[in-house]
Amino acid sequence: MEIVLAINDFCATPTISKTALQIRVTIGVGHNFDDILDVTSNELTNDQIAELHRLWADDNYPRNFTRNGDELIITARN
């Protein structure tokens, strides 16, 4: 399952959406990891939250950064 962290220029409240193939967490530019935890702690496993944290903060974790309109999309590099 792919995990996507999207930073949206206009997002006021962090959100999570899940499909069979993807987990997507959308946050705004002013949010921090505590805000991510607020929306994911009851929805995701510890391993999935750890993956989100790596996408968020680990400079040595191989990531893709893609700009799509108002969003910066961060995914793990394959």
Beta strands, E only, the chain: 2-8, 15-18, 22-28, 63-68, 71-76
Residues 22, 31 contacting (CB under 8 angstroms): no
Give me the number of domains the chain comprises.
1
pTM of the model: 0.92
- Domain with 26, as residue range(s), is 2-76
Query: pLDDT over 70 for what percent of the chain?
Result: 100
* Cα separation, 6 vs 16, whole angstroms: 10
User: Is residue 52 over pLDDT 90?
Assistant: yes
User: DSSP secondary-structure letter at 21?
Assistant: S
Do β-strands 71-76 and 2-8 pair in parallel, antiparallel, or remain unpaired?
Answer: antiparallel
Per residue in 13-49, pLDDT (tens digit) is 999 999 999 999 999 999 999 999 999 999 999 999 9
pLDDT at 75 > cutoff 90: yes
Give the pLDDT confidence score for residue 34 in this predicted structure: 95
Does the pLDDT of residue 78 top 90, yes or no? no
